[in-house]
Structure 1
């Protein structure tokens, strides 16, 4: 829980290896009227991490570079340890990439050192605290919903115990109630997962839209065109993220309604996979590499769009759940009328206790809670593979990576066949 004060005191920790920045920040805070800020300072990364873990401050101001360490890593670790107080990144220059990375790891806001003044610092702290308060309310509502579901489940279970004492006719009714209970549990579980997912995944793009929309209003002079365009670009990017989330919902809806059909066409699997891996190069993190190799024949008959979507989803997941500098291996093998697709990463892996839920709708492993995603991607992939009468399996070890293996039956084509 975020720490709250009975008085108007706001306790702030500044993590910065430059004492001059501490003095400047302290002096700026002292000039803000009507509020009392208590500023503490820590210049050592390891000590700062230990202090933050105790969650004794209302707000954290984290420098982008702390000695040899990155402030982004410190913010990410704090998020992973359940710190709910706002973490504001301080950076030496205004950079869109830094801005986006800060939001991705969970920063509430970011300020450019040397350019922000009294109003900017006060506004950032105030907005971040209000945003943290809203998120806490969402989590509280979600907890209340889960308790109601549990109570409803207990009530229905008691009703079932009473029915067991009746005659055969009531036993038949019991079976029907069991079916209803199971459907209700699934529905409530999906609702709960949706609330959790929405509160997490919609937060970053909505925060981006809100902050950029507020800043655009300030840039109304002729010379501010570049700033306006930059923030318009941020809003467009955030809208695209929201659109991708909604597209996942649309895809799963179409699959469940039977509106997706398998339409096999002849194509070259090696060429298709090469195209996809080339497209995915735009998404790789710094130092990440994608290696692809193919064995066997290349001309096959399958649904090309479904195959493409499976490849895109598995490779993008490998990129997303791997750190910078890690390699990703993509392998295709077409022999004996069976296509085998294998995607291997060296990322965070899947905890063994959670692997049984991997293809469940909205499921997110605990170690992936701070990585953007809807929990629908692998569900959609499995449904596509089922449509093509194939199978999917995986091997994973936490912190060592994951290998996904897809097998799909497909007839081979001769080199002289015509599409």
Structure 2
């Protein structure tokens, strides 16, 4: 049977067209199904607040509970600034990267377990790169564990008036029960400015250098939208794209705006820019210009957080070395004559370090005797991380002593069953650039 080639080509072309149309319909149906599955409108929320008066200039779904994503790091930094202000840490305090922190997914700085960075470097890494690994490492340094730090975050949120916020971690990665609202994030944005005016400048950082690498800020509104001077971006698959922004007009007017749950970072930035340009001129020092606000727009008062009280300086400890009994037997000591003795008072620091043994036995080693307890503890942690197998069965603690009128903190590991095991540990530690001394309990 003879088949015309032109007829065959015509059938083939029609068949191809039919396949293309079917594929296109399937794609459209799939996109429609996805759009129904991920209802972005239910995620979107926004609020604009006059930072000077607490007046709400714009609000949409501002009380809807949403995943905070990296906006949670605003509270992480709030607590870091609080500890800096209280003097419990300094900008040079070392933050050691644990294996747990290093496992956090991107965005991350990528520091290896056992390595460290300063508190100031950690602040910059969180502000710019929104580093999840660094946020977790900071929480472990300040509270001992991320869970304890998250509890502290939630307590602070309630104290600031963030009534609908619960934190489960320091980095904002999606976790069951970790929620916040746009209104609560506005409160936190205002609190960061009012309570820490000397630290707030970190949020303006557009880039910084870390180990010869330039780290740029995820917040693209810095330097591109007039008046914007921070604060923080955020994103996870579950949350959508977030942004909290602060903007001022010649230091005369200031607003804090929050956009949460946008579909893309571009839409988020466009919407934030619109809100800032529309509402910044309506903010004022104590007065609200309602000329450009619709009649249906609710204007409510947002309770501004009170400034944190100035911490009282801790009283300096006074140490009175005990006088050996034979001194008092031999002769009374006149009150006017100062006692100069090399007698040492040893105060084991069990309460401050729960990891320390309550009744140490056997042998122990000492890796330092320095005048800073925090540095002594950090040195112990570093030695433990870098020599995990060697020191697996040991516990560490600090001991406070008086030597020549100065306070020193001995950094010690306990739990060695024999002198030989303690000496072997010292030999390994010395090869790894640690000082070491074996002692019997």
TM-score range, shorter chain: under 0.3
Give TM-score scaled by structure 1 length: 0.24
Higher helix residue share: 1
Which one has a bigger Cα radius of gyration? 2
Higher relative contact order (CA 8 A, sep 6+): 2
